[in-house]
Each structure stands twice: as C-alpha cells, then as structure tokens.
Amino acid sequence: MAVYTEVPDDELAAFLAQYDIGRVVACKGIAEGVENSNYLLQTERDTYILTLYERRVVPEDLPYFLGLMEYLAARGIPCPTPIRGRDGKALRALRRKPAAIVSFLAGVWHRRLLPEHCAKLGTALARMHLAGRDFPMARANDYSLGGWRTLFERTAARAGEVSASLAEELEAELRFLEGHWPEGLPTGNIHADLFPDNVFFLGEEISGLIDFYFACTDFFAYDIAVCLNAWCFEPDLTFNTTKALRLLASYRRVRKIEPAEAEALPVLVRGSALRFLLTRLYDWLNRAEGALVTPKDPREFLRKLRFHQRAAGPALYGLQ
C-alpha cells in the first residue's frame, strides 16, 4: 500500500455519495507498500479501505481482482470484500483513476515470524487454493517467465548500480529458468504476493489475507514458492528449514502436493526469487518522486536467489 494520488475533500465526498456507507469521518493515507494509493476510510457506519489503482495495475484486470476477492470471501476465506455502490457496481473512478472501496479487516501483521505463524499460513494458503478452484474468471500471470525477460531488459543497463555484474548474473539465471520452467502442474487462482504484510493475525489466528492485485491463474506450487521466499528466511537471510517444514506440512493437511509439484519446487523458488528481485530492481531504479513510499532493496532477493541456486533438491524445503 502507498499514496501516490491525493484526493481533495470535495471529490471524496462526491465519490462516497455513490455508496450507502454513511458520511465520511476520517480518511488517512496508508504509506506502506509500493503499488496503489490506499486510504483508511472511516465513516459513520464502519471502517473501509479506499484504493486508487495505478502503476502496474491494468484497469481491465480489476474485475478479476475484485471478483476473486468477493468469491473467496463468500466461501469463508478472510479477505477484503468489495463494497458495491447504490448502482450495484464495485469499480468506479476517482481522480481519473480506477477506484474501489473494500471492507476493512482487523488484525496486525507479524514482523517477527515464528514457525507457528508459517504453519497457519500453510493452512490458509491451501484453503484459499481450494476455495478459488471454481471461480469462473482467469488471468494470466504477467510476472512469470515472459514478464521477467521484459523486466530484465528494462533494468539491465543500470543493474550495476545495485550490484557489480548483476546484469550478467540475471541473464544467466533467466536462461536457466527459460530452459527448466515446469509445465502441466496443478493450476488455479493464486495470490502470488502473500508476503507477511499481506497476512493479518488476531491473536494466534489469521484474520485477513489482503492485497490481491497480483492474483492470477498459475501453478499452485508457484504460490507456495512465493511464500517460502517471503516467510522462511531470517532477518540475516539464512533459510529456516523448520519454518518451511511447518508451512508445507500444514498446507499438505488441507491440499495434497503432487509429486510433480514437489520435484519442480527448487526451480519455482528460484523463479519466485527472480520475480521479486526484478520488480524491486525496477522500482529501485525508477523511484516515483513525491510518493509516500520507500522502494525495497532488491539485494535481499539476490541473496535468496543465490541460496536457491545451491539447493540440492526438494528435501531442503521439506518435501521428498
């Protein structure tokens, strides 16, 4: 979450008049994250999140994102529910940008992750995968193999500003992944960005899965790979095998991981690490002036990628 677009009071009031959610009491920008402009919106009746979509979000994808959240929420997954206006529509425009209001989910995200948090995540991730299997819409993953090559080409010339010989290292990894990327794995609707700050807890239980704006139709095992990268490294970037074991064991109690998925996992975690390395590298080199957001250091995922390149097989991640 972030704030790139300021909303004047009169335009906000006119926008909210299209909803039956009461008069606005407070509206405060949320500075975390990097993608869209987000506001914590309080009205006489409840608390909501107002989002203006910008940067990477393609407007044509928004019906999929909002529809998936609504579909999952109706099936017991704790994710934001889009709020429909008096005309029945959830998506409209504000400040000449697509905008929507979704329900607010109480909870906090944990900055110090414990193995039990990873176990809870595994359960929630598997439940989400199963709940979204019959969602009637689909969306290609823009940040999979084809998209990585495009990002690399946009950053290669300046990659050395971040790390010496980075462009050469990225080129070699891309060639490896292009030659080894799996095919035919179980596929469905995935989150694709389930980092700790997108998972809220109340006490010991998960209360919210948020920020579905990279959701897509792709391998379930790729979503697992994203979570291994996001949840199972310590602050010093050492890999915590216990966290990976707990995450995967909890996932498998809800949804079986097929042998082909387990075999592909070492390649998928490398791809996941490269995906976030490239997007962070692009943001690091193309900072938006005036935005209330700090780009994340891409070198974190460079170190994670190098770790995965040395992995001997799926047993390292808790799979035989």
Alpha helix locations (H) across the chain? Answer: 9-16, 62-74, 115-131, 145-155, 166-180, 220-231, 241-254, 259-285, 299-309
Quickly tell me which residue has 């948090």 as its tokens.
117
User: In the predicted model, is pLDDT for residue 135 greater than 80?
Assistant: yes
In-domain check, residue 2: no
Residue 173's SS3 state is helix
- pLDDT of 121 reads 98
Q: Are residues 144 and 263 in the same domain?
A: yes
Count CA atoms closer than 13 A to 246's CA, side-chain side: 15
Could you tell me how far CA 101 lies from the centroid of its own chain? 19
CB 109 within 8 A of CB 201: yes
**Is residue 315 a contact partner of residue 239, using CB atoms and an 8 Å limit?**
no
Question: Which residue from 240, 242, 235 is spatially nearest to 300, judged by alpha carbons?
Answer: 235
**pLDDT per residue as tens digits for the range 261-305:** 999 999 999 999 999 999 999 999 987 665 556 789 999 999 999
Q: Are residues 176 and 310 in the same domain?
A: yes
pLDDT band of residue 91 (cuts 50, 70, 90) is very high
Q: What is the pLDDT of residue 94?
A: 95
Range of the domain at 39: 9-102
Q: How far apart are CA 170 and CA 173, in angstroms?
A: 5
Residues 65 and 126 in one domain: no
Q: Which amino acid is at 108?
A: V
- Domain holding 289: CATH number? 3.90.1200.10
Q: Name the pTM for this structure.
A: 0.93
Judge whether residue 33 has pLDDT over 70.
no
What are the structure tokens assigned to 293, written together?
Answer: 């957001």
Same domain, 82 and 170: no
Rounded Cα gap, residues 189 and 17, in angstroms = 34
4 assigned to some structural domain: no
CATH of the domain at 37: 3.30.200.20
The mean pLDDT of 228-256, rounded to a whole number, is 97
Answer yes or no: do 177 and 80 share one domain.
no
> How far separated are the first and last CA of the chain, in Å rounded?
37
At which residue do the structure tokens 């992944």 appear? 177
Cβ pair 275, 203 in contact under 8 A: no
Give me the number of domains the chain comprises. Answer: 2
Quick one: which H or E segment has residue 217? Answer: strand 216-219
DSSP at 216: E
* Final residue before a domain boundary, out of 102, 124, 142: 102
